[in-house]
Amino acid sequence: MPSLLDQVTRKLHPTSDSPALDAQVLLAHITEKQRSWVLAHPELSLSPKQRIKLEAALQALLQGIPLPYVLGHWEFYGLDFLVSPDVLIPRPETEELVEFGLGWLRDNKSRTVLEMGTGSGCIAIALAKNIPDLKLLAVDLSSAALDIARQNAAIHWVDDQIQFIHSDLFSNLQPATFDLITANLPYIPSETLKTLDVYTREPSLALDGGKDGLQLIRRLLLDAPQWLAPDGLILLELDSSHVQAALKLASTIFPKSVIQLKQDLAGRDRFLAVQT
């Protein structure tokens, strides 16, 4: 008879690109064990209560609900974050944004950060956890997302380092300057988004970048000069399809700055860095 892990993997085949991995993660969540433990115990069986939880989770997954929302949490940069359908699911490529930001902050001994579009708070919290004297302002248009972000900050004991603000970009902020302004703003063109599976699975507010995908990024870059400290850095995640347009825009707004494109682990242009 197939193991429970094999049975769950088979059930997930129709809806998952990685059914074996998803089955491992799901069973680890249900049993409150490590994924390595699940792999090492093919004889695993569940209690009646655990079986009910598994069936409910499988039903949700087969209806198209993403695994992180079913679990209620997801890992990012080695940290576990609460997630809900009100926030974008943290992506591995965004960990590179954190890596670039940490490297620059440490090299420049800079200690003030503004993050736009914080969502679950994963970027701000990862930065704060790795630089204990960092002070951050994290902004989002969604009150529901900010509720999740505040919970995550408290869970990771960095809520004293991060102030969360409900704002449409800079509109509700008090005048200040920041060493680093960073963002993973919505950047998928509206018409493109409607053709993607993610359109019905994650919040459009966190995905829709307007007609050309640069609507919010353009607004941020236009307003950023008055908020960026001298010798500061703007670090943005972009879609590879419009990095050249963003590069041209940044060059117009910051003609005297050093502007670079940085690649993700797959070698694609993914991040825009503007060093004033």
Give the CA diameter of the chain: 68
Give me the residue label for tokens 């900050």: 153
Please indicate if the annotation marks 130 as binding a ligand.
no
Contact 9, 29 (CB under 8 A): no
Contact 17, 61 (CB under 8 A): no
Please indicate if the annotation marks 117 as binding a ligand.
yes
Please indicate if the annotation marks 108 as binding a ligand.
no
Please indicate if the annotation marks 140 as binding a ligand.
yes
* Phi, psi torsion values for 162, nearest 5 degrees: -120, 130
Give me the residue label for tokens 């699940």: 38
Contact 209, 215 (CB under 8 A): yes
H runs (alpha helix) in the chain: 4-12, 19-31, 35-40, 48-62, 67-71, 94-108, 122-130, 143-155, 190-193, 215-223, 243-253
**Nearest CA among 65, 68, 87 for reference residue 204:** 87
| Torsion sign, CA atoms 23, 92, 245, 228 | positive
Please indicate if the annotation marks 119 as binding a ligand.
yes
Query: What single-letter DSSP state applies at residue 87?
Result: S
Q: Which residues are annotated binding-site positions for S-adenosyl-L-methionine?
A: 117-121, 140, 184
Q: Which residues are annotated binding-site positions?
A: 117-121, 140, 184
